[in-house]
Amino acid sequence: MAQRERTTSRDTELPHRPGRRLRLTAATAAALALTGGLLTAAAPTATAAPRAELPPTDADFNDDGYADVAASAPFTYVNGKKWAGALVVTYGKEGGAGRSKPYTQNSPGVPDAAEKGDLFGNETAYGDFDGDGYDDLLVSAGGEDVGGDKDGGTATILWGSAGGLKGGTTLKDPRPTKHDGFSELLQAGDFNGDGKDDIALGTGTTAVIDIYRGGFTRAGRTGGHSTVKVPLHTDASNGVRQLHSGDANGDGKEDLIVNGYERTQQGYNANFWLPGSSSGPKASAAQKLPAGIITDLGDTDKDGYDDVVIGNLWDSGIPGSARGGAVHVLHGTRSGPASGDREKFTQNTSGVPGSGEKGDAFGNELDLGDINGDGNLDLIVGAPGETVDGVSDSGAVTILYGAANGSGITGRGSRLLTQNTPGVPDSDEKNDFLGTDVHLDDLNGDGRADAVLGAHGENGGNGAVYPLIARADGTFKGTSGVYPSTAGLSGTRMPRLGANFAD
């Protein structure tokens, strides 16, 4: 199937390559009609709840106890510079989503300057990199020209403060001129268990991942640097596809999940688990996991080990695929993810609304969080290729709840969200691609994870972000959407706001 993919500085025509993650281009695979019912029940009036501690997995750039969300708009024109790129941070507050602030390379304190094709903000990751109590944001500019090195790429840390993100520092590229697209892939995590957030950076053309150890300063110092090489197929257009982190073996050191293509004749997509160690991710102990374009990690069954959730959006031809897409949950153990102990969810799973149809791309994006505040992780899944009521590629999002007994994710009681669902802004339109990205964050500090939905095709490709506030019964209260026009960005030629969220 043709599919949306991550855009790099080299993709001038935005081509479709099977096996790359649905990302930033103008169209997904064609989708057929949705046959299941929509979520139409009215939700009861929300009641006030005591403010809870912010979960450690939520970004909080101003340390006010409310989660903040960073959304990419990588194709933004800045002062007429095509695809210079931008991001928008929506700050949480009591009651829900608060102000939305844009950041570009022309923003005060941000290093460099907005230039054609920089793609600033295409990828982001957060962590408290200098240990001052404020979360910081790592931002890519994979198309940045560095001196005479065209498309060399840069990575910049925007620093958290009581007033939000302010100022920035550029990380030094350890191998300039040896690759293009430095920082195209980003992830943060404490890979060596020393209590400091580390950074992993990859490019889309090599299997080498740069690891920067924690101990970052605003003067540009780091706690050290090393590299790991993953057994991936690489060529001029293929290398690392995705990075994610979590502790699947419960040893207190975060592991790194690396997505790419196997070194086989078939060249199947695969995920590789690199366990954390005192020296960082351990490539020599890499374990191949099932195929899938996106992952998340969290303890869905409350046994003390993070489980690996894999989104496999392919209709066929890839191990584990299913018509319309699938999501797999691999349970963590003392020795890492147990490939033989897993569940598979599709739109044909009992209790899940709708049905799996070609091109739905169910599993294109996903995230874990406790939506109803019952202490069990729930799962949000994007299907941006879903056709709703005959409207092609309008997109949809599914909520799968954690079982009340803590046994893991279940299809029972699942909910479907579309732009025709009460509380979700706007309406279903062709090529909206609702579910381009999805995120769960506690925006209002009530102890429940709110849903943040990206629709990078909204308004003819301008894009939109929809924060939805979770109620105790698992339903959502809508808020105003965030658009380039309301966030202070140019709407010239499809900026694609909501293409990616920081994780």
DSSP of 410-442: -STT-EEE-TTSTTS-S---TT--EEEEEEEE-
pLDDT at 144 over 70: yes
Please give the average per-residue pLDDT across 278-294, as a whole number.
Answer: 94
User: Could you give the C-alpha distances from 66 to 90, 95, 487, in angstroms and in order?
Assistant: 11, 10, 20
Three-class SS state of 298: strand
Model pLDDT, residue 493: 92
Separation of alpha carbons 360 and 383, rounded Å: 6
In this prediction, residue 57 has a pLDDT band, given cuts at 50, 70 and 90, of low
Q: What is the pLDDT of residue 53?
A: 41
Name the band, by pLDDT with cuts 50, 70 and 90, for residue 266.
Answer: low
In this prediction, residue 457 carries a pLDDT of: 96
Q: Which residues have CB under 8 Å from 66's CB, separation 6+? A: 54, 60, 91, 92, 93, 94, 98, 442, 443, 444, 445
Planar angle of CA 364, 333, 128, nearest 5 degrees: 65
Does the structure show a pLDDT above 90 at 472?
A: no
pLDDT above 80 (res 62): yes
Is residue 26's pLDDT more than 80? Answer: no
Phi, psi of 477 (to 5 degrees): -105, 125
Question: What is residue 35's three-state secondary structure?
Answer: coil
Confidence of residue 30 (pLDDT cuts 50, 70, 90): very low
Residue 277 in tokens:
């160690």
Lowest mean pLDDT among 37-51, 106-120, 284-298, 486-500: 37-51
Encode pLDDT of 220-251 as tens digits.
Answer: 999 999 999 999 988 877 889 999 999 999 99
Q: What pLDDT is stored for residue 46 in this prediction? A: 30
Of 443, 503, 430, 502, residue with least CA distance to 478: 443
